Structure 1
Amino acid sequence: MGPKSRVGSCRAQRASLFNPKDFRFQAVWDVTRRKHERATWGVGVFEVDGDIEDANVTQAHISQLVDQARRLRQVSHCMTVLVVSDDPVFLTAFAEWSIKHYLFAWSTRLLVLTYLPLSSLQGLHKLLSSNNGMLILLKSDISSTRFTTETNIIVAIEVINYHTIYWTEDPKAPGGRRLSLSGALDKTVRYLAQGMNFTYTYVRSKSHTFGSKQRNGSWTGMIGMIVREEADFAPGPFTYSPDRAEVVDYSPAVWTDTLKMASGRQQPEIDPWGFLFPFTSLAWIAVLISLLEIFLVLVGLSWLSDSNCKHQMWENDALNLLRIFLQQEAVVDGRSWWWKRVLVGVWILATLVLTKSYAGNLMSLLAVRHIPQPYQSIWDVLSDPSVVMIWHKDSYYEQYLSTVQTGIFREVLELKEEDRLIFRTQSQFSESLHNLVRPGSHVFFDVGVTVINTVAKEFSKTGRCEYFISEKGYLSTPFAMVTKKNNHLFHGMNDK
């Protein structure tokens, strides 16, 4: 249907525009003259049919629409343009033709109404920024997001450690059984199904992965099922990434998390260097400096008091001070100068206080066994040539490692050449944690909630805490559900 115009009641025309059944590409011009002029207002309506598959025909219709609207503006004193559409292609084309043919003057007011998200409206930026325009993003009514007839939705799911996938008997399902899911994501899917009036069927990908982009441009895992339209949406949860955003639409973020590291917790042991720990390094330095100062004072005063001091065994003074510090027998000549006896006495009192404090702290330290945890960060893992890192297979993080050029994660990728970097799927995490990470030969990297829940499941099985989770996190990213690109489910899910 080509462009057409009609004039009628302003109220009646506006009411018809918001009928969901007639919601096509429409542009409405509300023409109003000066207040002191009478009967000089009207409404012009121009429509372009969005069902035409020929792009050239659509472009020709938009060109005629803009040309007629420009002639209407030329005979109008003040014009308000209302553009209503939910098709990004039409809006972009309309913006280009409007700028190219100088449709809008300085006095023209432009209002664009659409249900599209802001990310789909980049083509309107130049038009709105260079004219007296306003953009209004509409929200669908809850009732409009419900299916009017029974609809079955295919939902892609995958094993994650804080949920359970299992088969249940169902005579109506192919093969007499259907795939089921338990956990928070299943509750989310059931909530959406109730609110949007649809039934659903769970499916899994052949690779049992979340999905990553291959060199040939194809996608694996759940993302691949969405791209190939084998599934309508996937609860995931998926990390945001530019590559994924090109082929799927993201829901609002469910939560944000960081990468965590889990390593095997070693056996408690007594540190052989524990005798140094009662004092800090500064305390040890202060003791040694005090010992040296007292010795120099003794030697200096001896030289000033007795010119024959150089013939005496002054080394005995240094040895006596050291014996006192080590709580060994020390002999001080009774014929020594009074100041010498005073200095030695002061050193004896100071040493007594130090040794009592040292003995008490050492007793406390030896009563508690030390559990060594050598892997506190990625740098610790990179520095140990004997440990292997485990990452999530066919995930956003594997794809990120394959594209990073510099920094610490580039060094992580280079571990693959040394056979120190391997990838496992979610369903293999528990086995890898028990057989590889627990003995201490491997460390496990993944999203914090996955690491914590995987370790918690292992604790439930064994009753022992055999793993250490790092406090430091890496690569903070949001997580969300995904749908097919431009899928009608997208707006309904976002409303819910």
Structure 2
Amino acid sequence: MTNASSTPCLKLAIAPYMPYMYVDGPDDNPIVRGSQPAVLDIIFNHLGYCYEYVVVPSRSGGIRLPNGTWTGFMGMLLRKEVDMSGVPIAITIERNEDVAVTEFLYIDGWSAGFQRPVVQSDISGFVKPFSDYVWLLIAAAIVGVLATILFVYMSHEAIVGLSQHPKRGTSTFGASRASGDKWRKSTPDHAQESALWTIALFLAQSVTKLPRGNSVRVITGIWLLVSLILNTVYRSNLKAMLILPKVVLPFDNPEELAETGIATWIPGGSALHNAGLKSPPGSTLTRILQHSNSLNKATDVPWGIRGMVAGEHVMISPRRSLAAIMHETFSKTGQCFFYVMSEDILGMMQFSILLRKDSPFKAELDPVIRRLREFGILDYELRKQIFNATECQKPIGSQGARKLRPLDLGDFYGVFMLYAGGALMALVSFLMELLLFKFKDQMERNNDYLGYTVDSSVSNYKLQKLQGHSIHGLDG
């Protein structure tokens, strides 16, 4: 493409760099589109220059080789094959040392995109109406109420219990035992009643017994009100939490990406590639580069996009480039095929046009670029290329307004588990009641038999002694 003018045309090195520039067709007659062609038209029409595009064979920014030479954009610029780069390039220390840069056009950071995770059912939703901190407070409240009621009962028994206890030293063993049994039967099971009034009320279950004593009635009354409020809030949020979809991201920061060991697609000669080469061994960026499947190949953006959507590798690129891919796929299909992690692998970097150190164009380009940036024209042209990406940049579970997700069986697993747990607890309680009843009945039978044996022995002893006195009297 050329911009006709009587002055000699400038040669601009270009390569695909979404969303700034898309390059299709053969290298000798490329079809160029994106935000940067419109910006270049504004700049060079204002300055009065014509220009033509020169496609970089490697289609990369270029790296500095051990002998000091450069590949990609940088090599062509330093060999004077082109006058400047036609697309904004991320500025690194090495590039800034060897070439001149214009005023920055954009600021962007490098992140990673990967296949969009499938929305899953959350079977743990029945514990999510309250946060972990609230559940701990509820557990502490249950223990506190239980201990308080039990303490009041035990204190009351310690004060008035002696007056109800049979006096020691009664005339007969049988009478003492019978009185003791009567006292023991009239003494309540304080632990059982305390647990009943604490746990049963919290679970909104009916209680057949009434609390004894004003102190216990006040405590249970307050606990009844608190339990009502907690249960009302819990039930109101339970349904929403049970059917709320759960999204498990494979990674959401550079450290997690390095730990997964997933293959990564990284443009060769890019700013991130150069930063990775300078990173110390064992660093997060070094480990990410170790899994790259693209650095020893020619940059093939369509192949990188297909592999990312298919889940074959992670695509690492500037955020705006990933947003451009989202825009393209959503515009064509109406669907979002991948997500972008929330953190950056490489911090914010300036994107500028590259020039040679001795280039006279820097003084002309800088004022124009500064005014375009400050008036928002650069941002306007850029957003025209990625406006549909906003839909895919929303949280993954938030697209319900556009398309409702039908519920499946997994959405009700939490409900089934809740009901099954309640039924299991009821069954265990029933079996424990049966066992305790049989044990208690057996103990009472043994006690009755022991009492009957003792009473019979005493009666026989008295009868034998009485008979002995009678015989002695007759003999005398």
TM range (shorter): 0.5 to 0.7
Q: Report the alpha carbon displacement of residue 305 of structure 1 after superposing the two structures with TM.
A: 0.9
Q: Report the alpha carbon displacement of residue 329 of structure 1 after superposing the two structures with TM.
A: 4.7
The 3 A distance-change label for structure 1 pair 150 and 349 is closer
Q: Which amino acid is the alignment partner of residue 376 of structure 1?
A: D
Whole-angstrom distance in 2 between the partners of 1:376 and 1:192? 39
Q: Report the alpha carbon displacement of residue 374 of structure 1 after superposing the two structures with TM.
A: 4.7
Aligned partner (choices 29, 54, 74) of residue 178 of structure 1: 29
State the SS of the aligned residue for 1:453: helix
The 3 A distance-change label for structure 1 pair 414 and 374 is closer
Whole-angstrom distance in 2 between the partners of 1:344 and 1:194? 84
Q: Which has the higher strand share?
A: 1
Aligned partner (choices 379, 382, 397) of residue 272 of structure 2: 397
Q: Gapped runs of 5+ residues in structure 1?
A: 1-146, 169-174
Aligned partner (choices 200, 223, 232) of residue 323 of structure 1: 200
Whole-angstrom distance in 1 between the partners of 2:340 and 2:288? 21
The 3 A distance-change label for structure 1 pair 472 and 358 is same
Q: Report the alpha carbon displacement of residue 395 of structure 1 after superposing the two structures with TM.
A: 0.8
1:226-375 pair list within 5 angstroms? 226-307=77-158, 313-320=189-196, 321-332=198-209, 336-375=212-251
The 3 A distance-change label for structure 1 pair 475 and 306 is same
Counterpart contact for 2:126–2:238, Cα < 8 Å: yes
Q: Report the alpha carbon displacement of residue 412 of structure 1 after superposing the two structures with TM.
A: 2.4
Q: Which amino acid is the alignment partner of residue 387 of structure 1?
A: I
Whole-angstrom distance in 1 between the partners of 2:33 and 2:292? 35
Q: Who is 2:321 aligned against?
A: 450
Q: Which amino acid is the alignment partner of residue 324 of structure 1?
A: L
1:149-228 pair list within 5 angstroms? 150-162=7-19, 163-167=21-25, 178-228=29-79
Whole-angstrom distance in 2 between the partners of 1:200 and 1:249? 19
Q: Choose between structure 1 and 2 for higher RCO, CA contacts under 8 A separated by at least 6 residues.
A: 2
Whole-angstrom distance in 2 between the partners of 1:421 and 1:351? 58
Whole-angstrom distance in 2 between the partners of 1:411 and 1:260? 13
Give the structure-1-normalised TM-score.
0.61
The 3 A distance-change label for structure 1 pair 495 and 294 is closer
Q: What per-residue deviation string (whole Å, max 9, x for no partner) do you get for residues 40-72 of structure 1?
A: xxxxxxxxxxxxxxxxxxxxxxxxxxxxxxxxx
Q: Report the alpha carbon displacement of residue 426 of structure 1 after superposing the two structures with TM.
A: 9.7
Aligned alpha-carbon RMSD (Å): 3.1
How many residue pairs get matched? Answer: 337
Q: Report the alpha carbon displacement of residue 450 of structure 1 after superposing the two structures with TM.
A: 1.0
Asked if 1:376 corresponds to 2:248, the answer is no
1:124-135 pair list within 5 angstroms? none
Q: Report the alpha carbon displacement of residue 431 of structure 1 after superposing the two structures with TM.
A: 3.4
Whole-angstrom distance in 2 between the partners of 1:378 and 1:416? 11
Q: Who is 1:387 aligned against?
A: 262
Q: Point out the structure with max Rg over C-alpha.
A: 2
Q: Which amino acid is the alignment partner of residue 325 of structure 2?
A: T
Whole-angstrom distance in 2 between the partners of 1:480 and 1:325? 65
**Identity of paired residues, percent?**
17
Counterpart contact for 1:235–1:480, Cα < 8 Å: no
Q: Who is 2:439 aligned against?
A: none
Q: Which has the higher helix share?
A: 2
State the SS of the aligned residue for 2:265: strand
Whole-angstrom distance in 1 between the partners of 2:292 and 2:32? 34
Q: Who is 1:414 aligned against?
A: 287
Q: Report the alpha carbon displacement of residue 367 of structure 1 after superposing the two structures with TM.
A: 4.1
Q: Report the alpha carbon displacement of residue 454 of structure 1 after superposing the two structures with TM.
A: 1.5
The 3 A distance-change label for structure 1 pair 345 and 439 is farther
Whole-angstrom distance in 1 between the partners of 2:97 and 2:136? 62
Q: Gapped runs of 5+ residues in structure 2?
A: 163-183, 369-476
Whole-angstrom distance in 2 between the partners of 1:153 and 1:471? 40
Q: Which amino acid is the alignment partner of residue 229 of structure 1?
A: K
Counterpart contact for 2:13–2:53, Cα < 8 Å: yes
Q: Who is 2:333 aligned against?
A: 462
Counterpart contact for 1:392–1:424, Cα < 8 Å: no
Whole-angstrom distance in 2 between the partners of 1:468 and 1:317? 56
